[in-house]
Amino acid sequence: MLWTGTPALEEQVTAYEKVRGVSFPDDYRLYLSATNGGFPIQTFSRQRAANVVARLFELDSASEASNLWSAQVRYAARVPPPLMPIGLSTSGNVLCIGIFGTTRGRVFSLDLKGSTTEIARSFSDLLAIFEVAGSEHSTERHLRLVE
Protein backbone atom coordinates (compact mmCIF):
# COMPACT_ATOMS: atom_id res chain seq x y z
CA MET A 1 0.00 0.00 0.00
CA LEU A 2 1.49 3.29 -1.05
CA TRP A 3 0.65 6.40 0.97
CA THR A 4 0.97 9.93 -0.34
CA GLY A 5 2.70 11.27 2.78
CA THR A 6 6.34 12.34 2.92
CA PRO A 7 8.32 11.37 6.04
CA ALA A 8 8.26 14.03 8.74
CA LEU A 9 11.52 15.43 10.09
CA GLU A 10 12.25 14.95 13.79
CA GLU A 11 12.13 18.75 14.17
CA GLN A 12 8.56 18.81 12.80
CA VAL A 13 7.41 16.09 15.19
CA THR A 14 9.07 17.76 18.18
CA ALA A 15 7.70 21.20 17.25
CA TYR A 16 4.14 19.85 17.02
CA GLU A 17 4.44 18.14 20.40
CA LYS A 18 5.86 21.27 22.01
CA VAL A 19 3.32 23.73 20.57
CA ARG A 20 0.31 21.45 21.20
CA GLY A 21 1.55 20.24 24.59
CA VAL A 22 1.29 16.57 23.65
CA SER A 23 3.62 13.60 23.60
CA PHE A 24 2.97 11.12 20.80
CA PRO A 25 2.94 7.41 21.60
CA ASP A 26 6.22 5.90 20.33
CA ASP A 27 4.68 3.84 17.51
CA TYR A 28 2.73 6.82 16.14
CA ARG A 29 5.86 9.00 16.35
CA LEU A 30 7.79 6.36 14.40
CA TYR A 31 5.04 6.23 11.78
CA LEU A 32 5.18 10.02 11.29
CA SER A 33 8.95 9.79 10.79
CA ALA A 34 8.58 6.94 8.28
CA THR A 35 5.47 7.84 6.29
CA ASN A 36 3.68 10.84 7.81
CA GLY A 37 0.17 9.87 6.72
CA GLY A 38 -1.59 10.79 3.54
CA PHE A 39 -4.12 9.00 1.40
CA PRO A 40 -3.85 5.35 0.44
CA ILE A 41 -3.08 5.29 -3.28
CA GLN A 42 -4.14 1.72 -3.96
CA THR A 43 -7.32 0.04 -2.89
CA PHE A 44 -7.04 -3.16 -0.94
CA SER A 45 -9.34 -6.06 -0.37
CA ARG A 46 -9.48 -6.62 3.35
CA GLN A 47 -12.84 -5.29 4.55
CA ARG A 48 -11.50 -4.35 7.99
CA ALA A 49 -8.86 -2.04 6.57
CA ALA A 50 -11.10 -0.57 3.89
CA ASN A 51 -13.68 0.38 6.51
CA VAL A 52 -11.15 1.98 8.81
CA VAL A 53 -8.51 4.14 7.15
CA ALA A 54 -9.38 6.64 4.41
CA ARG A 55 -6.67 9.17 5.26
CA LEU A 56 -4.15 9.83 8.00
CA PHE A 57 -3.34 13.47 8.69
CA GLU A 58 0.16 14.76 7.89
CA LEU A 59 2.25 17.18 9.94
CA ASP A 60 3.22 19.26 6.93
CA SER A 61 0.39 18.93 4.44
CA ALA A 62 -0.40 22.05 2.41
CA SER A 63 -4.03 20.94 2.36
CA GLU A 64 -5.98 22.02 5.44
CA ALA A 65 -8.17 18.92 5.12
CA SER A 66 -5.10 16.66 5.47
CA ASN A 67 -3.08 18.71 7.94
CA LEU A 68 -2.68 17.46 11.53
CA TRP A 69 -2.36 21.02 12.84
CA SER A 70 -5.66 22.07 11.23
CA ALA A 71 -7.41 18.85 12.28
CA GLN A 72 -6.62 19.46 15.94
CA VAL A 73 -8.36 22.86 15.72
CA ARG A 74 -11.18 21.68 13.42
CA TYR A 75 -12.18 18.78 15.66
CA ALA A 76 -11.42 20.37 19.05
CA ALA A 77 -15.09 20.63 20.03
CA ARG A 78 -15.83 17.01 19.03
CA VAL A 79 -12.75 15.14 20.25
CA PRO A 80 -12.56 14.59 24.03
CA PRO A 81 -9.31 15.78 25.69
CA PRO A 82 -7.49 12.47 26.16
CA LEU A 83 -7.78 11.88 22.40
CA MET A 84 -6.21 13.59 19.40
CA PRO A 85 -7.51 13.39 15.80
CA ILE A 86 -5.11 11.57 13.47
CA GLY A 87 -7.24 10.72 10.44
CA LEU A 88 -10.59 9.89 8.91
CA SER A 89 -12.31 6.60 8.22
CA THR A 90 -14.06 5.78 4.97
CA SER A 91 -17.38 6.30 6.76
CA GLY A 92 -16.38 9.85 7.77
CA ASN A 93 -15.61 9.07 11.41
CA VAL A 94 -12.64 10.81 13.00
CA LEU A 95 -9.78 8.46 13.87
CA CYS A 96 -8.19 9.43 17.16
CA ILE A 97 -5.24 8.30 19.25
CA GLY A 98 -5.10 8.48 23.04
CA ILE A 99 -2.34 10.81 24.18
CA PHE A 100 -2.56 10.43 27.97
CA GLY A 101 -4.11 8.41 30.77
CA THR A 102 -5.67 5.01 30.18
CA THR A 103 -6.34 5.84 26.52
CA ARG A 104 -2.66 6.55 25.70
CA GLY A 105 -1.66 4.82 22.49
CA ARG A 106 -5.07 3.27 21.82
CA VAL A 107 -6.89 4.15 18.58
CA PHE A 108 -10.56 5.11 18.49
CA SER A 109 -13.22 5.94 15.92
CA LEU A 110 -15.38 8.94 16.83
CA ASP A 111 -18.73 9.11 15.04
CA LEU A 112 -20.87 12.18 14.32
CA LYS A 113 -22.96 11.54 17.45
CA GLY A 114 -19.85 11.73 19.63
CA SER A 115 -19.63 8.02 20.42
CA THR A 116 -16.15 6.54 20.53
CA THR A 117 -15.30 2.96 19.69
CA GLU A 118 -11.87 1.47 20.27
CA ILE A 119 -10.63 0.04 16.99
CA ALA A 120 -7.05 -0.87 17.96
CA ARG A 121 -5.09 -1.31 21.18
CA SER A 122 -2.21 0.63 19.62
CA PHE A 123 -1.30 2.46 16.44
CA SER A 124 0.89 -0.51 15.55
CA ASP A 125 -2.14 -2.78 15.87
CA LEU A 126 -4.08 -0.50 13.52
CA LEU A 127 -1.35 -0.93 10.93
CA ALA A 128 -0.75 -4.61 11.73
CA ILE A 129 -2.56 -5.70 8.60
CA PHE A 130 0.07 -3.83 6.63
CA GLU A 131 3.74 -4.47 6.12
CA VAL A 132 5.98 -1.44 6.10
CA ALA A 133 8.70 -1.61 3.48
CA GLY A 134 10.97 1.05 2.00
CA SER A 135 11.28 1.49 -1.73
CA GLU A 136 14.25 2.39 -3.89
CA HIS A 137 13.34 6.06 -3.41
CA SER A 138 14.07 7.34 0.08
CA THR A 139 10.90 9.47 0.27
CA GLU A 140 8.52 6.63 -0.60
CA ARG A 141 7.15 4.11 1.85
CA HIS A 142 4.88 1.25 0.92
CA LEU A 143 2.29 -0.23 3.24
CA ARG A 144 1.34 -3.55 1.78
CA LEU A 145 -1.31 -5.90 3.00
CA VAL A 146 0.09 -8.73 5.07
CA GLU A 147 -1.48 -11.95 3.84
**Nearest CA-CA partner of 83 in 93, 97, 101:** 97
| pLDDT number for residue 15 | 93
Is 7 within 8 Å of 34 (Cβ atoms)?
yes
* Phi/psi at 93 (5° precision): -70, 155
Domain boundaries, the chain: 10-145
User: How many degrees, rounded to 5, is the angle at CA 85 between CA 43 and CA 23?
Assistant: 120
Span 48-88, pLDDT tens digits: 444 567 888 988 776 777 788 889 889 999 999 899 999 99
> Residue 55 has what DSSP assignment?
E
User: How many degrees, rounded to 5, is the angle at CA 87 between CA 19 and CA 94?
Assistant: 105
Show pLDDT as tens, one digit a residue, over the chain (147 residues): 456 677 899 999 999 999 989 999 999 999 898 888 877 655 444 444 445 678 889 887 767 777 888 898 899 999 998 999 999 988 889 999 999 999 999 999 999 899 999 989 999 888 775 544 333 333 333 343 333
| pLDDT number for residue 89 | 86
CATH topology for 10-145? SMI1/KNR4-like (3.40.1580)
Categorise residue 90: left if φ over 0, alpha if ψ from -120 to 50, beta otherwise.
alpha
